[in-house]
Amino acid sequence: MWQQRGIVSGVAPALPGVTWQGHPALVHFWATWCPVCRAEQGSIDAIAKDYPNTVTIAMRSGDLAAVGKFMREQSLDFPVIGDPEGTISQAWGVHAVPASFIVDSTGQIRFVEVGYTTELGLRLRLWLARF
């Protein structure tokens, strides 16, 4: 509960270049300095290959060049939006990473998970958000 204090619910805040129409989306907040995020990054990469509506936000991880370097070193290929100052994270109420949001096709946040979440758990939530 403490890690989810102030986290948004209802309508998902806007993200640059992202629309919520069509299919459920995974919005995943992470950081290059977060060991739990590293443990989870393979799952996020696999989900992004199957769900094109996956977007990730690199919270307080430097500029896009630094994030890009990290992603190349880790062989990651998921879409990422830089959030070097934490302004996007703040708009979503994210205080701890990793944090995952499942947004349905109407832009409503259906599920929120803070902390490590399994690939199966995220895939199940994406499936459930279709209904």
Domains (ranges, CATH) in the chain?
22-128 (3.40.30.10)
Confidence (pLDDT) at 4: 64
The Cα–Cα gap between 52 and 24 comes to: 10
21: confidence class by pLDDT, cuts 50, 70, 90 = confident
Element of type H or E holding 25: strand 25-30
- What pLDDT sits at residue 117? 95
Give the pLDDT of residue 5.
67
For residue 62, name the pLDDT band (cuts at 50, 70, 90): very high
Residue 93 has pLDDT above 70, yes or no: yes
Q: What is the mean pLDDT of residues 53-62?
A: 96
Question: pLDDT tens digits for 100-114?
Answer: 999 999 999 999 999
Instruction: Answer yes or no: is pLDDT of 1 > 60.
Output: no
Tokens of 51: 């769900």
User: Quick one: the chain helix, strand, coil %, rounded to 5?
Assistant: 35, 25, 45
Best CA proximity match to 101, nearest among 70, 57, 36? 57
